[in-house]
Amino acid sequence: MTEQVIVSSRTIDILAVLMLMTTIVLVGTSRLRTSIWAYAIRSFLLTWVSGLIAYFSGIHHIFIATGISLALKVILIPGFLFYIVNKTKVKTDVESVINYTLSLLISCGLILIAYYSTQSIIKFENDFMGHCLPVSLAITLLGFFVMITRKKAITQILGLLAMEDGLFFAALSTSYGMPLIVELGVFFDILVSVIIMGIYVYRIKETFDSIDTDSLRELKE
């Protein structure tokens, strides 16, 4: 590998690790606003990575995906989420089913699993962008974990978004992205689902005066 390739691969690795750190912030923070900021920053990093990959690989459709991702994930969705938070005036503290120390430990374990299970593939790939696959798996797992343990609907949206980011990043780093049409579809899905869930959150708030998903149990009777 030439010097330039090493540097670029290391740079992408570092960005990947920074993305993972923002996801850890999502698990570790108790504030809704911080978690939305974390999402915005992660999306920005992701866009950066995809821009870099597009530049190095010279595949044009990644540029398009990068642009859409910049508009959608960095600006539109965080903006919309902030709008919902302001509108529903939710208490900014995030509530979790299990306590923080434990959830931090569990997320530590999840990251461990991600790194350990992708280890054989990384060695096969000859260390080039070695962090990308484990990090994307870890982000997906952490997103899932957040969805399971958090009570507030907005945090659950954030968990879903983290999962999507992880998958997008995995596709990007291993096979230079999915076909453009698929990516566009995914973006559209995400946008729609966020909007729908946002409205949904607003409705829950109106009905139950709280966005705690626990209160949805009352719908059973």
**Footprint of another protein (CB under 8 A):** 3, 6-7, 10-11, 13-14, 16-18, 20-21, 24-25, 28, 30, 99-102, 104-105, 107-108, 111-112, 115-116, 119, 122, 127, 130-131, 134
Residue closer to another protein (CB basis): 39 or 187: 39
Q: What is the 3-state secondary structure (H, E, C) of 48-81?
A: HHHHHHHHHHCCHHHHHHHHHHHHHHHHHHHHHH
Query: Smallest distance, Å, CB 34 to another protein?
Result: 11
Q: What is the DSSP string of 121-150?
A: HHHHTTTTTTTHHHHHHHHHHHHHHHHHHB
Give the chain's length: 221
Whether the Cβ atoms of residue 73 and residue 58 lie closer than 8 Å to each other: no
Query: Smallest distance, Å, CB 33 to another protein?
Result: 13
Query: Smallest distance, Å, CB 191 to another protein?
Result: 31
Q: Which two tokens stand for residue 32?
A: 């809704």
Query: Smallest distance, Å, CB 71 to another protein?
Result: 28
Query: Smallest distance, Å, CB 100 to another protein?
Result: 5
Cα–Cα nearest to 147, from 131, 119, 134, 166: 166
3-state helix, strand, coil in the chain (%, to 5): 85, 5, 15
φ/ψ of 197, rounded to 5, equals -65, -35
Element (H, E) at 30: none
Residue closer to another protein (CB basis): 17 or 195: 17
Residue closer to another protein (CB basis): 20 or 160: 20
Residue closer to another protein (CB basis): 41 or 186: 41
Residue closer to another protein (CB basis): 84 or 132: 132
Query: Smallest distance, Å, CB 28 to another protein?
Result: 4
